[in-house]
Structures are given as structure tokens and as C-alpha cells.
Amino acid sequence: MTVEIVKPGLATTIQDAGRPGYYNVGIPLSGALDQYSFRCANLLVGNDENAAVIECTLLAPELLFNVAAIVAVTGADATPRVNGTTAPRNESFAVQAGDKVTFDFMRLGARAYVAVAGGIDVPVILGSRSTYGLGAFGGFQGRKLAVGDKLPIGKPSAAAKAGRQLPAELAMPLPKETELRVVPGLYFHRITEASADNFFADTWAVAPEADRIGYRYKQGRPLQWRDRKQPFGAGSDPSNIVDAGYPYGSIQVPGGVEPIILHRDAVSGGGYAMIGTIISADMDKIAQMQPNYKARFVRVDMDAALAARAEYKARLDRVRKALA
Amino acid sequence: MAHHEVLSPLPGTFYRRPAPDADVFAKEGATVKAGDVIGLVEVMKQFSEVQADVGGKVVRFLVENEDAVEPGQPLVVIETA
């Protein structure tokens, strides 16, 4: 009852809904970076939508199924193949024991999710099966998957069947250019007004080092900070503050040069000023950005952020109804 | 004589040499075998080898050293016998 890793891909990990509740002791959320596609994948194979799946990043793995299974692939546009024959995306399909599943390169998007009916049955640690690589726990032995790993599969539900399809209009969009909405704060007041205008006017490109910890952006104009005498305990660079908690989605700009959006494996605190926070409804979009994809930051207020969150939840409800 | 393009399997920064002061993996005009490394793609602080998927003569590189590349982007043309 296992899936074996033949080739590991670039950064393939086991993820689920995440591990909220421990940020105060330095343990981040973790979990699938694109939570929407992750949930769609589980619902397609009849799983509880929080079951653990395989998250594939930029270069997908090669998998050998040692047992017959129902599988679904969502997220990034990487065509799956069963023994070389094309299988659908956003639709559940059956594999037999001994079948090899490979993927074409990711034409669009950065993360594909492979759900197997029954879920990936790795141990639950602090309420989650998600891998936290920096902490070396969770997922499969606390690390990225490697050649020869055998992932245990849980028992499929009665709802597991091939041919369940996600309506095209409910699939995750995978644009090469996107808008990311930002609520300014907590240290937004530290940059000049002109600099804030530039930040929102410029087009930013994803840097090659963007990962689950943080997404770095480049090519916009550097920030200008308001003059001040650095307070005791803050570093000498104007982008430094006295250490503070970092919210999930917060944007820090070390040296004022390249903004970094903290994602689900980020550290929980530190000494960089956060000039704003990406709204929760837009965090999944970041997960699907390849290096060199472009973003513009759009300033919104809390009401707009909450409305976007309600819209996101309503869309997920439509998925649940469509795949029930 | 057929021309074959080797495609980048992933996005990132393309390198033709294993180190800044080293020789290129494959020179234009040289002969390569299937499986020979023709370059590296760096992304997420990891270097992935790009291998020739056919053997033949390296006709020309379509990207420069340190160019940004996309998944599926042609990197080099190989003339197969």
C-alpha cells in the first residue's frame, strides 16, 4: 500500500491543511502553499479535504504505485502520464499496481498537487502531516522526498472513483502576471509617501530563490525610509526594527531593495520592518508563481480584504458542491 | 540530418559552465552523447543538470549564460546523425 519515489523532482513534500496554533513558539503554519488546489485535489479523489497530498514544485517527481489507486492532479499545468499515456488534470483517474506516473514540465504555475484516495498516511505531528523542512519534522521523515522513499497510503473512502471532474471555471487560474492585494502596516509609516507610491506602481518579478519560506521579488525601485535615530535594539539599517512577530503574508524589505513575502514555512519573528501584509485570499496565487512571473501590489483596506476572503470561501463552497 | 532542441525542464537561471572559471559543458560544434550534461538551471538555491536527450553535434545555444529560462524553453540545437 505505498507509492514509491522513482525521481524526487525539485522540492517535493507531503503537505496538508497545515499546523496553525504554534506560531508563538516559533513553529509556522506549513501546509500546502496553494490551499485551494490542495483541497480540490482531495475532493476529486473522495478524501477529507484536509488529507495529506504530495506537493510538487517546479519539477514534478516520478512515482511508482505499488497498489491500485485513484489519483487526482491539480494546481500547476504539468500533464500527468500513466506509463507514458496522458492522464487528465483536475479529474480523478485510476492507476494499477505497477503503474508509473510521470509529469511533463510545468507549462504554467509552480506547484502541482497529487492526491491519492485514502491520503498519504504519514504520522500526525502537532495536529498535521505537513512537512516543515527547516524544523526537520512532519511529512515523510521531516524532509523533501528522495529516491526510494515509500509513502504509505491510507484507506480510500467509499466516495473514491475515477472520472470526477473539477469544472474548468473552478480550476486555479495560472497567470504569468497577477495583482497581489496588500493591507499596509505595521511599519508602513516608516517609508516615505513617494516611496510607497513607487512600491504600488512598479511591476515586480519573482526572484529565483523564492520558496515555501519566502517569496522574493525584484526589479522594482528601492524603498526610501523616513529619517529616524534607530531605537535601541534595532539594527543600524533603516529597514531594521526592534524584533517583532512576523505575520503570515507579511512583506519585509531587507535593505529596502527586494521585498520578501513570508509564506507558510516562514520564521515567526525577526528584525525587519514589515511594510504590509498580503491578504489571505491572495496567498495561493503566490504559490503558483514561477521565477520571473510578474506581480503588482495593490493597496486595499481591511474591508476589501475581508470581502475577498468571503469570496474565496464561497468559491471553495462551489467546489465542494460540484465534487460532492 | 535532423535538428533537435533540448528543452529546459524547469524555470530558473541557465548556466553553461559548472563554475565561473571552468570550461563550458559543451562547445558549439562539439559532439555530445545522450545523457551528457549541457548546462545547469539554478532555482530555489539548487542547481539541476540539463542533459542532452539525444546524441549529435551541438549546432548552437539559443540562450546565453545566466539568462532566465522558462520550463519548455529550447536551450540548444543538436544535429542528430
In a domain, A323, yes or no: no
- Domain coverage including residue A49: 2-170
Q: Which residues of A touch B43 (CB under 8 A)?
A: 10, 58, 208, 291
Distance of alpha carbon A320 from alpha carbon B9, whole angstroms: 34
Contacts of A294 in chain B (CB under 8 A): none
CB contact under 8 A, B44 and A107: no
Please give the Cα distance from A77 to A175 (Å, whole number): 11
What is the predicted pLDDT for the residue at A201? 98
Identify any residues that bridge with B51 across adjacent strands, giving them in sequence order.
B37
For residues A209-229, give the mean pLDDT: 96
Domains in chain A, number: 2
Q: How many angstroms separate the Cα of B20 from the Cα of each of A22, A127, A291?
A: 43, 46, 22
With 90 as the cut, is the pLDDT of residue B81 above it? no
For B3, list phi and psi in degrees, rounded to 5. -95, 130
Phi-psi region of A187 (alpha: psi -120 to 50; beta: other; left: phi over 0): alpha
SS3 (DSSP) at A157: coil
Chain B residues with beta carbon closer than 8 angstroms to that of A11? 44, 46
Please check whether residue B13 touches A, CB under 8 A: yes
| Cell triple for A40 | 480540490
The question of ipTM being above 0.90 is answered as no
Number of independent structural domains in chain B: 1
**Spatial separation of the C-alpha atoms in residues A290 and A18, rounded to whole Å:** 22
Residue A313 C-alpha from the chain's centroid: 17
Nearest by CB to B68, which of A11, A57, A292?
A292
Is A11 close to B44, i.e. CB distance below 8 A? yes
∠ Cα A206 B44 A234 (to 5°): 75
Mean pLDDT of chain A: 97
Residues A162 and A56 in one domain: yes
Ordered DSSP codes for A62-79 = EEEESS-EEEEEEEEE--
b/e map A135-148, b = 16+ CB within 10 Å: eebbbbebbbbeee
Please tell me whether residues A74 and A188 are part of one structural domain: no
| Cell numbers given for A314 | 464561497
Is the same domain home to A47 and A76? Answer: yes
| Residues A92 and A237 reside in one and the same domain | no
Q: Residue A87: pLDDT above 80?
A: yes
Co-location of A25 and A156 in the same domain: yes
Same domain, yes or no: A309 and A195? yes
pLDDT > 70 fraction of chain A, expressed in percent and rounded: 100
- Write the CATH number for B43: 2.40.50.100
Considering only the beta carbons, identify the residue of A11, A106, A208 that sits closest to B13: A208
d(CA A259, CA A29): 21
Domain boundary, last residue among A170, A203, A228: A170
- Answer yes or no: do A63 and A193 share one domain: no
CATH assignment at residue A287: 2.40.100.10
The answer on pLDDT for A168 being more than 90 is yes
From A122, A146, A170, give the residue that closes a domain.
A170
Is residue A281 domain-resident? yes
Q: What is the DSSP letter of A222?
A: P
Pairing verdict, β A177-184 and A294-299: parallel
Same domain membership, residue A286 and residue A165: no
State the Cα–Cα distance between residues A83 and A64, nearest whole angstrom. 10
| Residue that the C-alpha cell 478524501 belongs to | A47
Q: Quick one: DSSP state of residue A258?
A: S
Residue A312 has pLDDT above 80, yes or no: yes
Extract the C-alpha cell encoding A53. Answer: 497530498
Q: Which of A57, A102, A104, A105 best tests the B interface by mutation, with the highest count of B CBs <10 A?
A: A105
Among residues A191, A176, A181, which one has the least CA distance to residue A277?
A181
DSSP string, B2-55: EEEEEEPSS-EEEESSSSTTSPPSS-TT-EE-TT-EEEEEEETTEEEEEE-SS-
Beta-strand relationship, A85-86 and A13-15: unpaired
Is A11 in Cβ contact with B70 (below 8 Å)?
no
Count of other CB atoms within 10 angstroms of residue A296: 15
- Asked whether residue A289 falls in the same domain as residue A213, the answer is yes
Count CA atoms closer than 13 A to A124's CA, side-chain side: 9
Q: How far is B3 from chain A (nearest CA, A)?
A: 21
Q: Is residue A8 part of a domain?
A: yes
Q: Report the pLDDT value the prediction gives residue A324, as an integer from 0 to 100.
A: 92
| pLDDT score at A216 | 97
Tell whether A94 and A70 lie within a shared domain. yes
Q: Which of A170, A203, A225 is the last residue of a domain?
A: A170
Q: Is the pLDDT of residue B1 over 90?
A: no
Contact B43 A58 (CB under 8 A): yes
State residue B69's pLDDT score. 95
Closest CA relative to residue A37, chosen from A58, A56, A61 = A56
On whether both A203 and A162 belong to a single domain, the answer is: no
Task: Look up the domain containing B33 and give its range.
Answer: 2-80
Question: Which pLDDT score is estimated for A259?
Answer: 98
Are the beta carbons of B70 and A209 separated by less than 8 Å?
A: no
Is position A143 within any domain? Answer: yes
Give the residue-averaged pLDDT of A40-67. 98
Instruction: Please count the other Cβ atoms lying within 10 Å of the Cβ belonging to residue A302.
Output: 10
Tens of pLDDT, residue by residue over A123-143, are: 999 999 999 999 999 999 999
Which 3 state secondary structure label does DSSP give A240? strand
Phi, psi dihedrals of residue A222, rounded to the nearest 5°: -60, 155
DSSP assigned state of A247: P
**B10·A211 Cβ contact <8 A:** no
Record: contact B48-A10, CB cut-off 8 A: yes
Confidence of residue A54 (pLDDT cuts 50, 70, 90): very high
The radius of gyration of chain A's CA atoms, rounded to the nearest angstrom, is 20
B71: which chain A residues are within 8 Å (Cβ-Cβ)?
58, 105-107, 290
Domain match, A153 and A194 both: no
